[in-house]
Chain A
Amino acid sequence: MTGIMQMRAPQERDETSQGERWRHGAAVALNRFGLGTRPDEKPPQYPRRWLLDSFADYRAQPPELASVGSSDQLGARYLQARQEYRAMRSAGHGGARMGRPTKILADRAYAVQAQARLAAAAATPAPFVERLVHFWSNHFAVSADKPAVRALAGTMEFEAIRPHVLGRFADMLLAVERHPAMQLYLDQVKSMGPRSAHLAGRAHVNAGLNENLAREILELHTLGVDGGYTQSDVRELAKAMTGWTVAGFNRAAQGPPGRFSFDASLHEPGERRLLGKRYVQSGSAQAEAMLMELAVHPATAQHIATKLARHFAGDRPPPALVDRLTEAFLGFGGDLAAVYHALVSADEPWVSPLTKFKSPWDWVVSAVRGLRIAPGDVEAKHLLNELDQPIWRPGSPAGWGDTVHRWAGSGALTQRVEMAVVLAQKANPAAAPGDMVRRLLPGTVSERTIAAIEGADSAQLGLTLLLSAPEFLRR
C-alpha cells in the first residue's frame, strides 16, 4: 500500500472550513451517515470522531446473521434439490401441483436472509459501517430473480462484502466476483474459453464464451461506463476469467458442489491484453491480476468516489468532494477506511442536513430503529416488496438508483404513508410522539412538523405522522 498521503487525525470542530457553525452535526451523523437515530443513542458531541470510532465496534459476523446458512451449504443443498427434482420428474412423479423444491428452498433462504439483514441493521452499534455494507452490496448488485441467485444473494453480502468493508477495495472486488451468487447471476458459470481444453476442436471462435460478468465488472464495478475500456477489453477479461465457475452448475466443473472453483479445462489459454497491458499469468491468476489492476485504476477511483459522494453529500455529487475521495482512494491503494476517513473529514456531507431522500430500505430501517420495532414483529421481505424495493432484487446489475427521482413519486409516497400506519402500530416508542421526533431528528425538524405531530389526537396518528414527516423521509 503506497503511502503518498499521510492520514491525519481528524480535528474535531463544530464548524465547516468556511467557518459556518452547524448545529445539526449530530443529526447528520446519526441519520445520514448512520441508519437513523435510536432513542437510546445520545447525540454524539463530536460527530466525526463518533463515526470513525464506530469502526472498532463493527462486526463482520454479528449475532443476527448467525442463523443464516453459508453459500457453501445453500449451494450444495440447492444442487441436491435440483437433482432430486429432476430425478423425480424423469421417473414420472411430481407434476405441476408440486412446488419446485428448488424454488421453495430459494424463497425460504431469501426470506431468512432478508430478515437477518433487517435485524442486523436495527441492532448494529456501527450504523455508518453497516450503511456502507448496504452501499457496496448495491454497488455489486445481483438480482434475486432466478431461484439459484435468490438462494444465495444475501450470502454474497454477508460473505464477500461484510468482511472487506473496512479493508481494501481489491479484496472486496475479488471476493465478490468469485462468489457463487455473482457467478450465477451474470452467467459466468457457463463461460468457456473457445480454445479451452474442454471445447478444443468444437465450434467457432467465440463459442462458449460469456461476456456478461466481464462487461459489468468494467462498466459497473470498476472503471465505470466512461472509464475508457473497449469491447476488446471486455472480451479479453472474459477470456481471462474462463475457468472461474461454480461446481455443480457447470457440467464440466469439478469440486464440491455449490462452491467457487477454478476449472483449468474451461480456461482460455494464452496471454491477454487489458487496457493496453499484457497478462501472461496462467490459470486463475490471470484474471486475478487483471482485477487487481482494475481495482486501483484512476477511473475506478473516480467512479467509486462519485458514487460515495452522491450517497453521502447529495444527488449532485460535489466535484471537490469527488476529487478528494479519488485522491484518497488512489493515495492509499484502494484502502476503503482511508476513503471513508476523507469522506467524514470533508465539509460537504455535513452542510445540508436533509438533502437526500431516503430509499424505502433506508426509511424502513430508520423506522425500525427510531420506533424500537422488534424486527421479529415485521416481515422484512414483505415490507420492502410493498415499497417497491425488494431486497437484493433491483432487476439489473446496476443496482438501485440513488437520487430523489428514483424514489419520490405520488404512488411511492402513498405507499410510504400506508406503511407508516402499519409500522406505527408495531412501535414500542420510548416517549410521546412529539418528544420522539425531536429526539430522532435533533435540530432538523420544523415547527410545522412538530405541530402536526403534537396536534394528533392519538399516539398512533402521531407516530404515523412522524414516519411520514418531510424530515423523516429524508436524511
Chain B
Amino acid sequence: MHRRDFLAAASAAFVAPSLSLACAATEQRFVVIILRGAVDGLHVLAPCGDPAYAAARGHLALSLEGQSAAMPVDGLFALHPGLPHTLELYRARQALFVHAVATPYRGRSHFDGQDVLEGGGAHAHQRRDGWLNRLLALLPEGRAIAVGSVVPLLLQGPHAVTSFAPAADASAADRLTERIAWMYDEDELLHPLWADAVAMRAMADEIEMAGHGLVRDASFAAAILSKAEGPRIAVLESGGWDTHANQVERLTRKLTQLDAALFALRHGLGSHWGSTVVAAITEFGRTVAPNGTGGTDHGTSTVVLLAGGAIDGGRVVADWPGLQEASLLDRRDLRPTIDLRAVLSTLSAEHFAIDPGRAASHLFPGLSDTILPARLVRC
C-alpha cells in the first residue's frame, strides 16, 4: 500500500486492543541495528518505477537488467542486488520496508542527527537518554545488551543495560578516529575525506579478518538473545555508510555485510526468529543527485528495514512523494512523508503489546501523529 488512507488506517490501528494483548504470549526479541553515516535509502530500495528516477540519480541509478540488476519487490521499488537474503525474507513475508522516512532533524551533522535518532527528541541535545532505554521501563522484564564496548545513547538511561564487546575492538585508534570525526563534522573539506578514510580502513580490516564486524556481532547477539536467562533486546552498530565518494562499490560491500548479518541473526535465533523484530535505522538519507566524487552528500529522508518472523512483511510502506524536482525537499532531497518516530513507536507498541498512545508519549514525548498507513507486526 503506498497511498495513505487515513480513515481506514486509523480505524484499523485503534480497533480491538485485546487482539494485540494476545500477541504477548511468547517472549518477544527486538534487535536494533544503528547504521551510522546516513544511509542512502534510494540506493538500498530504489524506486526504479518512478519516471524521474533514472534522470535524477544519474550514474547511481540501479538497473533492472544485467549482471548486478536490482531485484524488484513490487511495481515501484527494487532491492539492491547485495541483499539476496533480505529479498528471501521479503518473499517469505518476514521483511518490510518503510520509505521516505525521517526524524524531525533537518540539519546535516551526523552527530546531531544520531542524537535525534537515538534520543528520540524533536531536536538535537534534547534528550540525555535513548528511546529504547525508555521502552525497557515499559516491559515486564526489560533486559538489553549493547554489542560493542560503548553503550550508545539509544540504550543510555535510568534502566540498567549491559554491554559486551565480542572481541577487543575499541582501541585507542578507534577513539581517536571518533573524536577526529567529531572535530571535522562541520568542515566541508575534511569531513568527507575523513569519512572516506575511515571507510577504507574498515574495508581493509574486513578483508583481513573474515567474519569481523557486524556479522560477528549479529551472531553473538543471536546467541545471547536465545539464552533463557539472556537479554531480549540487543543493539548493534555499523559504521562506514557515509558515502561521499565511491558509493556504488562501497554500498555494495556494506549491504552485503548487512545482508549477511540478518542471515546470521535469523540462523542464530532459530525458533525464536518467529517472535523477533529487527529494525535497521539510520540518522538521515542522502541527496538524490550524485556529487562530483561518485557519491552523495547529506540529505533528509531514507529507508527503514524491518525484518523478523514477527514482522507482517512482504510490503513496502510508503507515502511516496516522487523524485521530480518539484517534489524534492529544498530541490535536492527526497521529501519525508513518514516520521521515523511514528514507525518506531508503532513497532514497539505492536511488538510488545503496549498501548500505542502510552508507547508514543513514553518513547517519544512530544510526538503527536503516530498514524501509519499499515500495521507492522503480525499477530
A interface residues, Cβ below 8 angstroms from B? 357, 404, 408-411, 413-414, 417, 421, 446, 448-449, 452, 455-456, 461, 464-465, 468-470, 473
B176/A464 in contact, CB under 8 A: yes
B194 CB to nearest chain A CB (Å): 6
A461/B194 in contact, CB under 8 A: no
Q: State which of B8-16, B40-48, B85-93, B182-190 sits at the interface with chain A.
A: B182-190
With known contacts A417-B176, A417-B180, A461-B179, A470–B201 Cβ distance under 8 A: no
A449/B183 in contact, CB under 8 A: yes
A456/B193 in contact, CB under 8 A: no
CA distance A465 to B200 in the complex (A): 21
Chain B residues closer than 8 Å to A411, beta-carbon distance: 197, 200
Chain B residues closer than 8 Å to A421, beta-carbon distance: 176
Chain B residues closer than 8 Å to A404, beta-carbon distance: 189
B283 at the interface (CB under 8 A from A): no
A410/B186 in contact, CB under 8 A: no
B196 at the interface (CB under 8 A from A): yes
A413/B193 in contact, CB under 8 A: yes
For residue A470, which residue of chain B has the nearest CB? B187
Interface residues of B in 314-361 (CB under 8 A from A): none
Interface residues of B in 166-209 (CB under 8 A from A): 172, 175-176, 179-180, 182-187, 189-190, 193-194, 196-197, 200-201
With known contacts A404-B189, A413-B194, A414-B201, A469–B176 Cβ distance under 8 A: no
B295 CB to nearest chain A CB (Å): 12
CA distance A301 to B176 in the complex (A): 47
A-B contacts, 20 listed (Cβ < 8 Å): A408-B193, A410-B245, A411-B197, A413-B194, A414-B201, A417-B176, A417-B180, A448-B183, A448-B185, A449-B183, A452-B183, A456-B179, A461-B172, A461-B175, A461-B176, A464-B176, A468-B180, A469-B183, A470-B183, A473-B190
B184 CB to nearest chain A CB (Å): 6
B interface residues, Cβ below 8 angstroms from A? 172, 175-176, 179-180, 182-187, 189-190, 193-194, 196-197, 200-201, 245
For residue B188, which residue of chain A has the nearest CB? A470
Selected contact of A413 from candidates B179, B185, B197, CB within 8 Å: B197
Besides A410-B194, A411-B200, A413-B194, 16 other CB < 8 A contacts?
A: A408-B190, A409-B193, A410-B197, A410-B245, A421-B176, A446-B186, A448-B185, A448-B186, A449-B183, A452-B182, A461-B172, A461-B175, A465-B176, A465-B179, A468-B183, A473-B190
Selected contact of B179 from candidates A357, A408, A452, A470, CB within 8 Å: A452
CA distance A411 to B245 in the complex (A): 13
Interface centre among A404, A408, A414, A473 (most CB of B within 10 A): A414
CA distance A470 to B187 in the complex (A): 7
B197 CB to nearest chain A CB (Å): 4
Chain B residues closer than 8 Å to A417, beta-carbon distance: 176, 180
A356 CB to nearest chain B CB (Å): 12
CA distance A411 to B172 in the complex (A): 20
Chain B residues closer than 8 Å to A469, beta-carbon distance: 183
Selected contact of B184 from candidates A357, A461, A470, CB within 8 Å: A470
Chain B residues closer than 8 Å to A410, beta-carbon distance: 193-194, 196-197, 200, 245
A-B contact count (CB 8 A): 52
CA distance A22 to B182 in the complex (A): 28
For residue A471, which residue of chain B has the nearest CB? B187
B53 CB to nearest chain A CB (Å): 30
Chain B residues closer than 8 Å to A470, beta-carbon distance: 183-184, 187, 190
Chain B residues closer than 8 Å to A408, beta-carbon distance: 189-190, 193
A450 CB to nearest chain B CB (Å): 10
Chain A residues closer than 8 Å to B172, beta-carbon distance: 461
CA distance A357 to B187 in the complex (A): 13
A465/B180 in contact, CB under 8 A: yes
Chain A residues closer than 8 Å to B193, beta-carbon distance: 408-410, 413
B97 CB to nearest chain A CB (Å): 31
B182 CB to nearest chain A CB (Å): 6
Chain A to chain B: the 3 pairs with minimum beta-carbon distance, closest first? A410-B196, A410-B197, A452-B183
CA distance A421 to B177 in the complex (A): 12
Interface centre among B185, B196, B197 (most CB of A within 10 A): B197
CA distance A469 to B187 in the complex (A): 10
CA distance A469 to B185 in the complex (A): 11
Chain B residues closer than 8 Å to A455, beta-carbon distance: 179
For residue A473, which residue of chain B has the nearest CB? B190
A360 CB to nearest chain B CB (Å): 15
For residue A468, which residue of chain B has the nearest CB? B180
Chain A residues closer than 8 Å to B182, beta-carbon distance: 448, 452
CA distance A413 to B184 in the complex (A): 12
For residue B191, which residue of chain A has the nearest CB? A470
CA distance A351 to B172 in the complex (A): 39
Chain B residues closer than 8 Å to A449, beta-carbon distance: 183
With known contacts A461-B176, A470-B190, A414–B183 Cβ distance under 8 A: no
For residue B244, which residue of chain A has the nearest CB? A410
B131 CB to nearest chain A CB (Å): 25
Chain A residues closer than 8 Å to B187, beta-carbon distance: 470
B177 CB to nearest chain A CB (Å): 8
Chain B residues closer than 8 Å to A456, beta-carbon distance: 179
A157 CB to nearest chain B CB (Å): 31
CA distance A473 to B176 in the complex (A): 17
Chain B residues closer than 8 Å to A452, beta-carbon distance: 179, 182-183
Chain B residues closer than 8 Å to A414, beta-carbon distance: 197, 200-201
A77 CB to nearest chain B CB (Å): 44
Chain A residues closer than 8 Å to B190, beta-carbon distance: 408, 413, 470, 473
For residue B173, which residue of chain A has the nearest CB? A421
CA distance A426 to B53 in the complex (A): 54
CA distance A375 to B187 in the complex (A): 31
Chain A residues closer than 8 Å to B197, beta-carbon distance: 410-411, 413-414
Chain B residues closer than 8 Å to A464, beta-carbon distance: 176
CA distance A410 to B197 in the complex (A): 5
For residue B186, which residue of chain A has the nearest CB? A448
CA distance A464 to B186 in the complex (A): 19
CA distance A469 to B193 in the complex (A): 14
CA distance A452 to B245 in the complex (A): 26
CA distance A315 to B184 in the complex (A): 21
Chain B residues closer than 8 Å to A413, beta-carbon distance: 190, 193-194, 197
A455 CB to nearest chain B CB (Å): 8
CA distance A464 to B183 in the complex (A): 12
CA distance A455 to B179 in the complex (A): 9
CA distance A388 to B343 in the complex (A): 50
For residue A449, which residue of chain B has the nearest CB? B183
CA distance A414 to B245 in the complex (A): 16
For residue A446, which residue of chain B has the nearest CB? B186
With known contacts A414-B197, A421-B176, A465–B183 Cβ distance under 8 A: yes
CA distance A45 to B359 in the complex (A): 62
For residue A357, which residue of chain B has the nearest CB? B189
CA distance A408 to B197 in the complex (A): 12
CA distance A417 to B179 in the complex (A): 12
Chain A residues closer than 8 Å to B245, beta-carbon distance: 410
For residue B192, which residue of chain A has the nearest CB? A410
CA distance A408 to B245 in the complex (A): 15
Chain B residues closer than 8 Å to A465, beta-carbon distance: 176, 179-180, 183
A275 CB to nearest chain B CB (Å): 42
Chain B residues closer than 8 Å to A357, beta-carbon distance: 189
A330 CB to nearest chain B CB (Å): 36
Chain A residues closer than 8 Å to B201, beta-carbon distance: 414
CA distance A470 to B186 in the complex (A): 10
A353 CB to nearest chain B CB (Å): 15
